[in-house]
């Protein structure tokens, strides 16, 4: 399964955004790092065990049947890798940086920094993977016609055909996070000129497909009156759960992006009251309430702001100690990165905050004068409920 979408290296294993290990670096084709997670070993073992009886019935190799069955597992994930590389190469053609490709138990994912700017590019990036998979499937099918089916080369070519056909057809299912869902999203985007509308339609398509995948093992066995195997039920639940979570993530991402243009520093910034260095916290509270302000700036002897009283640090001071605690003890210095313009909005605002993370920012107007204070928490609250 895909989303967005050499020799082993001794480079340290990759880590995800939370700092957790995400796989072993295996190669860098086209400069794109390829990682394989330990979960792949689990699914490879399962595929080998389940497919070995088929190989044995065709070739009668004895214990060597396990090796041929394992090759099928490798070919399946090699097909996923080629599929993901197709996404990555086309994305790079359109100037979208590719971070990495990761292969895991349920397939692969291509991590990109950025998104397609037009529905046409979205379609080409999404369709490139399934298209290449189907081309390789056709090549494998044509090649196996010229090789006896009861030989190792014949079985391997058949495996190549089946692996790429599975990857290509499955990923064309019309729902996110699959490539077919991205094709649907690009079509709705082109018709409505609203990428969010495309995401909503494709994500709900993905949720419908997720329910179908979970119920598919039972539907297949319904005519016979028998129950599906535990493995088929678990596989359906795993795939369906992955698809449901991927579709939900796409919906949240769409809602997030829809709110970004509404972010405006002038609307989010709090009015600030200035107090001299050394002012007791209780006195700062009084002045802030009197001015109906939402933040406190600490100034030097010339009246220039040098620090911002931390909302969290000040809130942790007990009421009885506030007359005796100076604002200097609960404030953060105003550095160059913690000063932003009042005209920032949308992506520009988020980019400025990502470049210099801080709990509070000093907001200045076009004339350089103090406009107020922006709290990161207020920006986060703008995305509440997503």
CB 281 within 8 A of CB 330: yes
Contact 272, 370 (CB under 8 A): yes
> Which positions are annotated as active-site residues?
84
- Whether 14 and 101 have beta carbons less than 8 Å apart is answered as no
Residue 159 in tokens = 């495996």
Distances (CA, A) of 368 to 271, 304, 305, 342: 16, 11, 12, 10
Instruction: Check the annotation: does 87 bind a ligand.
Output: yes
Rounded Cα gap, residues 292 and 286, in angstroms: 10
Of the candidates 98, 94, 105, the residue with the CA atom closest to the CA atom of residue 43:
105
**Residue 315 Cα to chain centre, angstroms:** 35
CA angle (143 as vertex; 140, 148 as ends), nearest 5: 115
| Under 8 Å between Cβ of 84 and 101 | yes
Residue whose pair of structure tokens reads 């058949």 in the numeric block: 158
CA separation (Å) from 186 to 98, 109, 122, 198?
20, 19, 6, 6
Distance CA 18, CA 3 (A): 20
Q: Is 356 annotated as a binding residue?
A: no
- Tell me if 4 is assigned to a ligand binding site: no
Residue 364 phi, psi dihedral angles, 5° rounding: -120, 150
Q: How far apart are CA 100 and CA 23, in angstroms?
A: 11
For strand 360-364 and strand 339-341, is the pairing parallel, antiparallel, or unpaired? parallel
Q: Which residues pair with 372 in a beta bridge?
A: 363
DSSP string across 189-211: HHHHS-HHHHHHHHHHHHHHHHH
C-alpha span between 139 and 154 (Å, rounded) = 13
Identify the CA nearest to 35 among candidates 20, 51, 56: 20
Please report where in the chains the tokens 């084709």 appear, as a residue: 29
What residues form the annotated binding site for Zn(2+)? 83, 87, 179
What residues form the annotated binding site? 83, 87, 179
């Amino acid at each position: 399964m895909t989303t967005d979408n050499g020799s082993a290296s001794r480079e340290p294993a990759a880590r995800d955004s939370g700092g957790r290990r995400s796989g072993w670096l295996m190669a860098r084709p086209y400069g794109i790092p390829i990682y394989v997670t330990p979960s792949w070993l689990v699914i490879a073992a399962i595929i080998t065990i389940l497919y070995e009886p088929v190989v044995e019935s065709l070739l009668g190799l004895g214990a060597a049947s396990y090796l041929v069955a394992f090759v099928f597992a490798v070919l399946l994930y090699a097909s996923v890798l080629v599929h993901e590389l197709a996404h990555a190469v086309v994305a790079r053609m359109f100037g979208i940086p590719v971070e990495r490709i990761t292969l895991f138990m349920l397939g692969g994912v291509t991590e990109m920094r950025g998104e397609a700017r037009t529905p046409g590019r979205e379609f080409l990036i999404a369709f490139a993977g399934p298209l290449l998979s189907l081309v390789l499937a056709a090549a494998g099918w044509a090649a196996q016609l010229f090789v006896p089916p009861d030989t190792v080369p014949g079985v391997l070519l058949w495996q190549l055909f089946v692996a790429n056909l599975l990857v290509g057809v499955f990923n064309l299912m019309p729902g996110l996070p699959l490539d077919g869902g991205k094709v649907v999203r690009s079509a709705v985007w082109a018709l409505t000129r609203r990428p969010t509308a495309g995401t909503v339609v494709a994500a709900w398509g993905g949720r419908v497909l997720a329910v179908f995948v979970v119920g598919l093992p039972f539907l297949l066995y319904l005519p016979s009156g028998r129950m599906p195997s535990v493995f088929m039920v678990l596989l359906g639940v795993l795939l369906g759960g992955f698809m449901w979570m991927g579709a939900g993530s796409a919906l949240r991402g769409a809602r997030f992006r829809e709110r970004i243009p509404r972010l405006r520093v002038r609307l989010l910034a709090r009015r600030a009251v200035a107090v001299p260095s050394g002012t007791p916290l209780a006195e700062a509270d009084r002045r802030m309430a009197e001015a109906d302000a939402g933040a406190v700036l600490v100034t030097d002897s010339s009246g220039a702001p040098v620090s911002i009283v931390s909302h969290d640090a000040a809130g942790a001071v007990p009421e009885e100690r506030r007359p005796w605690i100076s604002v200097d003890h609960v404030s953060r210095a105003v550095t160059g990165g913690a000063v932003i313009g009042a005209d920032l909005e949308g992506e520009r605002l988020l980019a400025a905050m990502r470049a210099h993370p801080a709990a509070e920012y000093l907001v200045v107007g076009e004339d350089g004068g103090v406009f107020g204070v922006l709290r990161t928490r207020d920006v986060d609250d703008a995305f509440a409920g997503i």
